[in-house]
Structure 1
């Protein structure tokens, strides 16, 4: 599969340079540079300034406000010399022994080879003006041998942080058992619960300027020490950074001169995301403490209806509130009032400045999650929300793309599905010339790439959705068209029949998009049910907001839990269950959330897949019956099972001669193969 992607990248021009010719950039005075040497020097100056500039607002003593931890778990393992079992390699034992000898020497105080520290910075375009250096991201190409030791440190440090609860619950970035979907689910579910109790929620999505490059290393070592990480481990981590050099490589392979790097984390190193999480946890701890000292913030935080804990103070109550959603440096904060959000942002900006981090005023945006209006006609829109914090003013938006998912004011899925449909078609068009429109390309390869890229782009985050029937219809329409493109179907001139969706699914050998969405939501629900009780997604899945109006009776708005109940009904979760032996998806339990925990969720996973098969069998049977009834209504004398025997080109059996049908089949077979 890797060779396939390499071939596709070469054929579509996505490998190496994105465009022919040299990429021109502007200098510090916005003068366009066209000379190759001048461009190379400009890139060197840009990264030299970026990676060696300290923030003027940095307060080295702010770390004293962070709690000094005394780690009790996994400490001995963290400081131990690397073992051969930790080196995931297929090399010969002799090579591994020599590699371990080098690691032991470095670990015990020896010098680290300079090649392990050095980095070659590859410039990657993000978005915006291509001549502006700020619109590019630098990724460091590092020594592979050094990466082995860095990965060993990362694995140990990750286990240490999880065992000692160093990272806050709100942080889901680069942590085992957590993903972007978890935080996306928290945001969507929070909006549903707010609309359910008619509580408008005020959110601010924070963007940090060059977050990884802004980390002050001296402050980082202090934060690691206060987190309880042993000095031996910190010493090895420092060796990767002290004396580090870098040089820039442009698209045409030219290299700049070496320059020292004294600031920030190493982009491209497996340690960097985890080190940033530990560093980021320090200002978050101070922020929560200052939240608890502001009465307005405490009053307007979002709380869940949960059992009160004895002896819980104000700070503990704030920590249990739903106030932040984090994935590495992608952060969102929420409050029940605009004033509360402004006060929260003021504290956040001020604390971040003390740690050398800068909130981007231009890219940080606010969003109001509105409640459903009962008044008809609806009242005029409210005034524009203005949030000011520490001298910054943030623009309001009606929709925001958070972790790849589109969040909007009304919680409507239609814009999100439209965007996902465009993303799916972009995947098809990317490989159209070399694969999908190529008659000689293997059909199964087309189908596999469709499932691996286009369908995944179409259904990203679908387990967090609460779709209505029309949303399933939109997804089915897009999926149907994608299948027709892969099959190579072309409707003949003068005919009106299309290759049906059911026929296309059978031809490609996949399940319907509705079945896929329901299956993924059930599997995700099982994964959330198996989480510890303190995890934020689990608390929100079964939770209810404090305050607002009682939902009461009537026709409630579609939400994630009602969709989940519908999924279990459609997948026949009680299949095989009896009064004496109740079960859910074959697991002998009364409650689905308990059934999902049995044996690590393996029976639940298998039961959901079997439920999807039952759903698809029933779905195909219904389509066949509907097709048969339509044929009877038309007076068609064609075959009873029109779904299996209908010609690929869409001609109706019974209205055409047998020879005509067979010829059409052969034409379609030739077209596909």
Structure 2
């Protein structure tokens, strides 16, 4: 067939040939990537694009897109416009095109030119077609491969400067291309490091994995900064995962684990969000019900993605979409492999329903780059990548990567998409002093340096004295202990991936490729041998790298290292560790570092400065009298009560620094604290604090309301607060209704009384009505003016009131974010979170505000701000609640109506209303202080709840408890100190039966067997397992007896002879004494039930 246009034929642009009289030519010179577009004018839905990369694509040529290419508008108006040949010739000469191009007739269509480059066309001597691109490389139209514009492995030419009157279509850069892939791995066991190496080598940012066969729902670091989010219900089948590379893993905002066949995550990008879905469709052998359920779940996931999100669905669909695109031109490009089957019809129906495009069908590739599954001589394309049709133009290439040995039957398929990634900012690193090294000889050296330099006179001006002392301590600590570089430690789980291991793995891959080429038995045997050797090399290197760690776990400091390791592993298993983008009040996403910091600052400033309306209280007469000087013994006791290893405040000086100084530090602090008390002034540095937002693990991670703020204050100030706390507790007596933050009182006392009262009502066949009140942000909303008046009412000397006032006046805070620390803001309401003095100040204020409503246990139970009221009828209960609501409102506190619940043993539909007529929520079960109370008085729900809590603790420590290299004695110690207390919490109050004992014993033995690595098939009896783990069987009755004996012991909470020389014992009105008869009767009943 002869071409009617000699210029086109001479240029060698027609391949394959097109029907005569059906040709419209459109030429595009694009910076070394010349495109010649040949469009049949009578087939408006197809066009052929011939590229110098030796491939051609069938592209959409609908009326909306017919006169554009990659979003560019032609300089000429339309293909039907009649331009004079002279104008066309002059236009081409301006762009330095060969003269032969001007031989085209004027009706040849759009001449769209985006770059100003000369297209060099050479005619070889043999008459064939040969062209040279701008890099001088030779190419022709055979052996199609990825175009230079989308090949991540090839260097990019320099950008073209936009010229006058010409549109700019710059080639996508490597930094703007994101590679997403999909692979059915068969199993992830033993392949995580190879997956990480594969992603790094192939520059894959997001990889969807199927058939992982991993049980659980966690995240895990697998090396090279890659994080794996996985989900599975069984260890032998199904399972899906998504692996995200380092630049993107910190921008994952949420993970949705739908089932063991569907998992999705949302990644924040520069211009929006990218929703990635990994799917594993049911195989042909599965039932129709399974397939329908799968596609219904997938429909819901895709539908839940916001309209503006860039959606990518990738995975093993187990279906052939084929080559036929008739009737599905919008979602199917017509370049598939094989024939469509029934599962392929489902895929196309899914794409049609959600306007998704099957990306691989829009790119011509050779057969080896199309096949995704190869087994037993059968080849097919069942792994697909789907994108929203409106974003199809951002997909630059889709291909299968042959020759990868990770999966036995499947081949990875990858797509290069143009997505604007978020700006990479360096993490804010704050160097930290290595205070944990302050032991032994190091501690002695530190003390000698401080003594040599000398601390300032503690009786001088407060601020200069503290500034000089803090500078001296920090300077000597840096010289003695050194500093870290800041930030958390990197991924240490891949130390074993050394050069020798990599060589063995590479030899295995080379053997695999050789076998794939020859298919000979000798090559297959060679491959199996190399695979076995590589696996053994990885195991040896991994064991050698972990020897040092396990040596530490067997040392005397084993406990500290174990809990640190368990904490690090738990942190690595979290989906979202930090969020760099947050939402403002209107729900708009903020990504700029300055805007994010300002949002955090504004949120906490509003939260910590909101005060409810209240009535003015009558002022009490101040009590005159000085504060007795602080003694050395009091300071020593206050330091002793401080826990070690806690995060320090803004000054960076922990309590360990003062402890290491011994008597020098105690005496200096005693004089300094007395100076503060006399001058009624504290250092300005102590008034500053840092708030660390902690995600509650529920709700949207970008919503600031789903975070709990933890305030870090100076440890030296906490020591001073401990002194004030001891004095105030000696002056003020708290009613017996309060069980929180008081010596010899605990949550178990309150839980026991509540259960005993419910049981007494049940014995008398009378209805029991309980109300569980919750105060809305009680610590943060407590008016400080009310606090000062309460302190005066309780007879506290005015000088001590002023001392506490000084600690709160002018207090400020800053917020620590992923982008750094915000600026300061004032806090004028509430008591300090994380303070040693705040708990007692709060319970003292609450005790004073509602003292006229306290009926004493068992009818009023308080644990800090958790209030439980008990009444004989609903009317009485409603009246009590309204009185409490009114009293709290007068003091500036407010009931949280959403969390306040009512429970009644008699049931019924009668509602309980608050003072404004709002009905409270009624429930059959309520978790009171960690133990579930049931309306029927049984403990079944409580036992099941504690077993569930124990399993949660087990999963947090599973990194140690299931590690085969940890000693069983160490595992037993971790189980006894972490898991068992969670299971047995509140069991002192349970009237358990033998069935409950069996439930607890079954759960415990399952945990112990797993920790030992044994199953029931190993024929090891329970007694031997307990002997191995050094864990004795503990019955609930024994725990109850121990608790009862402990309660009878009278202890003195403070040492005698401190302060003014006369410290009283704890208040003598004890709940367990007033209820002792009921308690013993309750235990007698519990024992009688157990025989």
TM-score using structure 1 length: 0.69
Aligned to 1:542: 1077
Aligned to 1:189: 756
Please give the alpha-carbon distance, in whole angstroms, between the structure 1 residues aligned to 2:859 and 2:828: 34
Query: SS at 1:79's partner residue?
Result: coil
Distance 1:498 1:386, change over 3 A: farther
Aligned to 2:718: 147
Aligned to 1:9: 567
Deviation at 1:415, TM superposition (A): 1.4
Please give the alpha-carbon distance, in whole angstroms, between the structure 2 residues aligned to 1:99 and 1:28: 46
Aligned to 1:520: 1039
Provide, for residues 440-468 of structure 1, a one-character-per-residue CA deviation record: whole Å limited to 9, x for no partner. 11111100001111111110111111101
CA contact (8 A) 2:904 2:935 kept: yes
Distance 1:540 1:564, change over 3 A: farther
Matched, 1:502 2:1038: no
Deviation at 1:394, TM superposition (A): 0.6
Aligned to 1:60: 616
Please give the alpha-carbon distance, in whole angstroms, between the structure 2 residues aligned to 1:25 and 1:112: 36
Please give the alpha-carbon distance, in whole angstroms, between the structure 2 residues aligned to 1:344 and 1:541: 26
Distance 1:336 1:189, change over 3 A: same
Aligned to 1:223: 790
- Which of 702, 712, 718 aligns to 1:131? It is 702
Distance 1:396 1:81, change over 3 A: same
Provide, for residues 236-257 of structure 1, a one-character-per-residue CA deviation record: whole Å limited to 9, x for no partner. 111110011111112x361111
Deviation at 1:384, TM superposition (A): 5.0
Aligned to 1:102: 672
CA contact (8 A) 2:741 2:840 kept: yes
Instruction: Report the more deviating stretch, 476-485 or 119-128.
Output: 119-128
Deviation at 1:119, TM superposition (A): 0.9
Deviation at 1:208, TM superposition (A): 0.9
* Structure 1 gaps, min length 5: 289-318, 371-380, 545-557, 571-673
Please give the alpha-carbon distance, in whole angstroms, between the structure 2 residues aligned to 1:259 and 1:542: 54
Query: SS at 1:54's partner residue?
Result: coil
- Which of 842, 845, 849 aligns to 1:279? It is 845
Matched, 1:79 2:600: no
Aligned to 2:894: 358
Provide, for residues 266-311 of structure 1, a one-character-per-residue CA deviation record: whole Å limited to 9, x for no partner. 00110000000111112211434xxxxxxxxxxxxxxxxxxxxxxx
* Structure 2 gaps, min length 5: 1-558, 640-658, 1051-1066
Q: How many residues align?
A: 493
- Which of 328, 342, 347 aligns to 2:883? It is 347
CA contact (8 A) 2:737 2:857 kept: no
Distance 1:122 1:14, change over 3 A: farther
Deviation at 1:180, TM superposition (A): 1.0
CA contact (8 A) 2:680 2:802 kept: no
CA contact (8 A) 1:62 1:355 kept: no
Instruction: Report the more deviating stretch, 339-348 or 45-54.
Output: 45-54
Aligned to 2:828: 262
Please give the alpha-carbon distance, in whole angstroms, between the structure 1 residues aligned to 2:993 and 2:715: 49
Distance 1:39 1:498, change over 3 A: farther
Please give the alpha-carbon distance, in whole angstroms, between the structure 2 residues aligned to 1:178 and 1:564: 24
CA contact (8 A) 1:203 1:367 kept: yes
Aligned to 1:461: 986
Please give the alpha-carbon distance, in whole angstroms, between the structure 1 residues aligned to 2:783 and 2:671: 32
Q: What CA RMSD, in Å, does the superposition of the two structures yield over aligned residues?
A: 2.6
Deviation at 1:402, TM superposition (A): 0.8
Matched, 1:27 2:584: yes
Provide, for residues 317-367 of structure 1, a one-character-per-residue CA deviation record: whole Å limited to 9, x for no partner. xx3563211110011111110000111111111111111101011111000
Aligned to 1:443: 968
Provide, for residues 550-608 of structure 1, a one-character-per-residue CA deviation record: whole Å limited to 9, x for no partner. xxxxxxxx9533225688xx9xxxxxxxxxxxxxxxxxxxxxxxxxxxxxxxxxxxxxx
- Which of 918, 925, 940 aligns to 1:414? It is 940
CA contact (8 A) 1:189 1:541 kept: no
Query: SS at 1:513's partner residue?
Result: coil
Distance 1:535 1:111, change over 3 A: closer
Deviation at 1:42, TM superposition (A): 1.4
Deviation at 1:223, TM superposition (A): 0.4
Please give the alpha-carbon distance, in whole angstroms, between the structure 2 residues aligned to 1:521 and 1:366: 29
Distance 1:419 1:322, change over 3 A: closer
Aligned to 1:306: none
Distance 1:533 1:22, change over 3 A: closer
TM-score using structure 2 length: 0.43
Deviation at 1:412, TM superposition (A): 1.7
Aligned to 2:928: 402
CA contact (8 A) 2:617 2:789 kept: no
Instruction: Report the more deviating stretch, 475-484 or 82-91.
Output: 82-91
CA contact (8 A) 2:579 2:702 kept: no
Aligned to 2:744: 177
- Which of 383, 395, 399 aligns to 2:909? It is 383
CA contact (8 A) 1:476 1:513 kept: no
Distance 1:479 1:444, change over 3 A: same
Please give the alpha-carbon distance, in whole angstroms, between the structure 2 residues aligned to 1:141 and 1:21: 18
Deviation at 1:231, TM superposition (A): 1.2
Matched, 1:324 2:891: no
- Which of 511, 515, 518 aligns to 2:1032? It is 511
Larger RCO: 1 or 2 (CA < 8 Å, sep 6+): 1
> Which structure has the larger Rg over C-alpha atoms?
2
Please give the alpha-carbon distance, in whole angstroms, between the structure 2 residues aligned to 1:499 and 1:389: 63
Deviation at 1:499, TM superposition (A): 3.0
